[in-house]
Amino acid sequence: MPQQSKPFWETKTLSEMNPEEWESLCDGCGRCCLNKLEDIDTGELHFTNVACQLLDNESCRCKDYPMRKKLVPECLVLDAESVRSSTALPTSCAYRRLAEGKPLLAWHPLISGNPDTIHSEGISVKGKTISEEFIHIEQLGEHIVDWFN
């Protein structure tokens, strides 16, 4: 019986992945696109339900992915190094999990074979967010959520 080869995410480091492999790791949860607040005293990061103006609330994808950094200068653009140092990624994030030596979770599209699993399992922010266009920055504290982590 021929031996099955392991998937790329089990054999390559993040920095060894090609652009197509890298992009396929994004599960489409939309969590990295949420505004976060950091507790000055503890350094703890709190997620809000306030999303970047470019996040599509239904698809949980960026409305203008190629231009996101230009349109939203504070956009978190990930690479192998920033994944290791970022505290803004949820513990469920494939990039973070692989950087920490953990496996992808069962609902990840690369495992489940279905890009909608992330939504049906309630992992994504689909239908749960408010665009930052409608929230004043001083109101962010009123929008802290504990959906994840």
Residuewise pLDDT in 10s, the chain (149 residues)? 556 799 999 999 999 999 999 999 999 999 999 999 998 899 888 999 999 999 999 999 999 999 999 999 999 889 999 998 888 898 899 999 999 999 999 999 999 999 999 999 999 999 999 999 999 989 999 999 987 65
Q: pTM higher than 0.75 for the full model?
A: yes
Sign of CA dihedral 35, 76, 133, 120: negative
Q: Which domain holds residue 93?
A: 14-143
Grouping H, G, I as helix, E, B as strand and the rest as coil, residue 36 is: strand
Whether residue 30 contacts residue 55, with contact meaning beta carbons closer than 8 Å, is answered with: yes
DSSP β-bridge partners for residue 55 = 62
Q: How many CA atoms lie within 13 A of 108 on its CB side?
A: 17
Going by their DSSP bridges, the two strands 45-51 and 130-131 should be labelled as parallel
Residue 124 located in a structural domain: yes
Answer yes or no: is 4 within a domain.
Answer: no
Count: domains in the chain: 1
